[in-house]
Structure 1
């Protein structure tokens, strides 16, 4: 019988965290050993509204959690401000982090990768856990070889803190690997209202929409002579991210470096 993967979820009361707790609890070879929350220290998760029947102690202090429990993987779905700190605590305790927060710089990723390799631990940072979104990024990179004029429109709920989204930035980065930097639009264009043309990433324009009722949506629009191509992905609910989280946990156990983006573990 396979040993169960012992998992801690950070940020259990968030929209993504709730789905992750449910996924871990329902996956036969996973075991939810604790959650790390900003409050409810000492309580059991089952005592908190929305988690009836899910047995796991609640910690505020992540270091204390790792010291007291045997943990294989941390699933961190908190906020950009905490992502790096939580990864460093995980590494220091021999725990493999799977992180869904954004806001990591290139230097953050390089430094965290060095720590992961020094410790011999697998780690995954994923701007987006939806398998369809990963395919959208891969298809966009392929299309950009032939249609280099491209703009990205991403839409999210109005509680999202960062803009553009990590997915939009990651998409632009992947496209830039096959596309030479170029300015788009009329060379003498002006913005009558500042920001009308969106963010500029090597000449690509990225536009962010924030509205209630949205979850996570992105379209990548390519323009060519007499034609356009649109590649679009929609997450209708946050359950759409859970197969990717599960894949990331299983993959983190098999590697000894940090991988940024699920596209590197999806063939």
Structure 2
């Protein structure tokens, strides 16, 4: 079977979560870009198995190892791409600090305290890294446009829709969008001051006076609509990821950008002009 050729002048990339749906797309993207070298994947249940064979493709000559630390010790990657879980990603980022590996993180759910701690430590170490709630360029533009609109139309609600296997709610994308909106408008308590929920949670989660609604259904990938209302008019800004391939240009951009950064950034919008 065909084996992936190696190039010594590339960015060496390790992937945590390569067997997952997002991870498999990352693998496909890496092997199609001659400037990136996919060197190792992490999965304790697939230790020693060729990654290509595990995901149903051709032999790649790249194996799974048992842990991120083993991957760092044996393969010295430049970048770790991590699409695992909030429970493991914080530990992986601490190891990245220890081994001077630049993280590109697509896992959401880290607490505010964890984010602040990691940002401080990465800045002190002058080590670049990126945590992005969403890697789809269209989703980043949706966030930016929503923040622009909120300055002029402050009455807003966010509806985010994802597949029913997503663990966190609201999504990291919705939270990031909400943060950007909150910075653009004066805080405003929306809705009728005497409104009551006959079913708790019917109005969604409250964030700085506006609401975020989470939908979880099979068949969906990642979708978000930001609705604005004003006298006599409404505005809707919507983004839809039809498949997970939509995230890969952003992941590719983040890997390359991380090599030239000396701090940890939150949000792919920081890489756009």
TM-score band, normalised by shorter chain: over 0.9
Q: What do you get for the CA RMSD once the two structures are aligned?
A: 1.3
Counterpart for residue 164 of structure 1: 170
Are residue 68 (structure 1) and residue 74 (structure 2) matched?
A: yes
Counterpart for residue 105 of structure 1: 111
Q: Does the Cα contact within 8 Å between 2:19 and 2:54 map onto a contact in 1?
A: no
Alpha-carbon deviation of 1:42?
A: 1.8
Which secondary structure state, in structure 2, belongs to the residue aligned with residue 159 of structure 1?
A: coil
Structure 1 unaligned regions, length at least 5: none
Runs of 4+, deviation exceeding 4 Å: none
User: For residues 263 and 170 of structure 2, what CA distance do their matches in structure 1 show?
Assistant: 27
Are residue 191 (structure 1) and residue 197 (structure 2) matched?
A: yes
Counterpart for residue 64 of structure 2: 58
Counterpart for residue 155 of structure 1: 161
Q: Does the Cα contact within 8 Å between 2:190 and 2:209 map onto a contact in 1?
A: yes
Paired residue for 1:115, among 103, 116, 121? 121
Counterpart for residue 41 of structure 1: 47
| Structure-1-length-normalised TM-score | 0.97
Structure 2 unaligned regions, length at least 5: 1-6
Q: Aligned pairs, how many?
A: 267
Alpha-carbon deviation of 1:106?
A: 2.3
| Structure-2-length-normalised TM-score | 0.95
User: For residues 263 and 26 of structure 2, what CA distance do their matches in structure 1 show?
Assistant: 23
Are residue 228 (structure 1) and residue 234 (structure 2) matched?
A: yes
Q: Does the Cα contact within 8 Å between 2:24 and 2:55 map onto a contact in 1?
A: no
Paired residue for 1:14, among 10, 15, 20? 20
Paired residue for 1:250, among 233, 247, 256? 256
Alpha-carbon deviation of 1:39?
A: 1.1
Counterpart for residue 135 of structure 1: 141
Paired residue for 1:265, among 264, 268, 271? 271
Which sits farther off after the overlay, 171-180 or 2-11? 2-11
Q: 1:55-111 CA deviation, whole Å, 9 max, x = no partner?
A: 211112111111111210000011111111111111111100000001122221221
Counterpart for residue 84 of structure 1: 90
